[in-house]
Each structure stands twice: as structure tokens, then as C-alpha cells.
Amino acid sequence: MSTDIRHIGIFCSGGDAPGMNAAIRAVVRTATFHDLHVHGIYNGYEGLIDGNIKRLENRDVANIIHKGGTILKTARSERFMTKEGRKMAYETVMAHDLDAIVAIGGNGTLTGAKVFQKEFDIPFMGIPGTIDNDLYGTDYSIGFDTAVNTAVEAVDKIRDTADSHNRLFFIEVMGRHSGYIALYTAIASGAGGVLIPELSADVDDLLKLLKRMMKRKKLFGLVIVAEGNENGSTHEVAKLVSKKLEDYEVKVAVIGHLQRGGSPTSNDRMLASRMGNGAVEGLLKGQSGVMCGIHNNEVIYTPITEAIKKVKAIDKSLLDLAGVLST
């Protein structure tokens, strides 16, 4: 076990994700178990630049495991993208005697960590906190399971009104570059179709699917659309389909930021707790410049460069499953 690390800083950056608080709690309590000190950095990289830091004790993270959002707040920082901003952040690290930093967030957060560590040789440990589930090196990221459950619950409610009025609903979920939320939501909610960035399906392909559905005398339909699909906005897709399928009344529902909020599921709490613990244990064993993830139910460490550059491909078997179950 390393004796070089005594003070750990921790922050959240980028979009919030349910389960971040559980990860913060696990980092603080694991560090306390090893007689280390943890300093919470508020508002992400912005807080690191401004010195917005507070010592965190076990009592500070009590009663937060069930809460969505993040007690440390989060932000995106344009200043950190400049050398001057990163220099100010380094001065904060030195002023507070931080030996290592745990960063919870997505691709942008880890990219910033990689640059900062290269410039100033500060040990960094990443924790994947993003509802998009798009980081390589972990089967699931913190917040994904909760976001899918939130989306499925919303779709179930929309199904009731779609059935009552014989409507075709296009339901937009988050995912500018990743279709994980859309694909899992489509399968779990029994949707008739799904459009995701990773699948080059056009509106004509979707129309063929919907027409088969009409032949089965199905009087309503649900199509899950990731916001980053290649066919344009959900409203544009719905408009194109409505011109071709006059038998359906076409409606659009955008779930939006509901997917970011809410109490994290038990799966996200477990995931975040294991990753928070693994982050501290990894730092003490000399791991640095890596992201702590879970693969095949085991804690692993993936170089941040790989985590942000390698593509986390959609499981083709799930795409096939979605197609089979929608017929």
C-alpha cells in the first residue's frame, strides 16, 4: 500500500447522473477507513480553479446515498480548457496539499483529467458517471440504470394514452452520441421501433416495420428515438412518417431532463459504491491516470486514454433482439 497519498480531492463534472452521491460517499468512507483525508471540490473544474473546496468527513456524506444529483454540484468549465485556467487549478491543488484527485463524470471530464495530469503530474482516478453509458472500460456507468428506468416508466404511461387514442408516439430519450438509453428503453418497454446513432436505419426502414405492425391490426405504436439519431430531430422524423401513415395519429413526446434526476436505483447505488471504493483502493495501490470500472462483475482499471478514445460498441445481439420483439 502506498504511503504517498494522504489527501484526496474529489469532484463531479459535466452532466449530473443519479448515483454520483453514492460514489462520493464511498470515496469518503473508504478514505476514512484508510486514515486519509478527502476534500470535496464544488462545481467541478470551476471549483478547482476558484479554490471552492471543503474537507469532507463521514458525517458529511451521511444520508445521501439515495439522493439524485450531486452534493458537490457540477459544472462545465471553459476556463479549464485554457492553460491559464489549468495553472490556476494546479495552484489550488498545491495550496490544499492534494496528493490525488478523483473525478466523476463522462468523456469531457476524463479528457480534462488526462490533460491536467500530463501537464502537472497530478495522480488522477476517473469514475464513469454518465447516463449515456458510452465510456469504454466498464459494462455500465453510474446513472444509466436509473435513466433507463425513468424512461421506461414514462413510456409505460404514454402507452396508456397511445392505446386509448390509437396513436403512434415518437418518444425522444437522451443520447446525442450513444443509443444505449434508447435501445434498452425500447426493449424494456416493448416499443415497436428504435432509432439510435449507431444504427444507420433510415425512415424508410422504420416505415417498413410500422407497416408490418399495421398488418397485424395493431392500433397504436411506440417508437423510441435517441436525440442523436441520423434522421434529424424527433419532430422531423414524426412529420415524415405521418405523411406516409395516414391511418395513425402521430404524436411526439420528449422525456428530456427527467432522465437525469430522481433517486438512483439499487443497481446504480451498488455500482457507484463499488467504483468509489475501487477508486481509493486503486490510488493506494499506485493506479493513476486510469478509470475505475466494472467488467464482468469485477473492478478493473482502464487507462483514461483508452476510456475516452475507444468506442464502446452497442451489443449487436440486443439490436437483433429489438428487431425480433418488435415484429
The domain locations on the chain are 7-143+264-309, 145-260
- Give how far Cα 314 sits from Cα of 44, 118, 228, 230, 318, Å: 29, 31, 15, 16, 8
Report whether 304 contacts 124 (CB < 8 A).
Answer: yes
Please state which architecture CATH assigns to domain 7-143+264-309: 3-Layer(aba) Sandwich (3.40)
Catalytic (active site) residue 132: yes
Report yes or no on whether pTM surpasses 0.85.
yes
Fold equal for 7-143+264-309 and 145-260: yes
CATH class for the region spanning 145-260? alpha beta
Catalytic residue among 4, 16, 50, 132: 132
- At 52 the pLDDT is 97
- At 219 the pLDDT is 65
- Mean pLDDT of each 10-residue bin along the chain, 327 residues long: 80 97 98 97 97 97 98 95 97 97 97 96 97 97 98 96 89 95 97 89 83 72 93 92 85 95 97 98 96 98 97 92 85
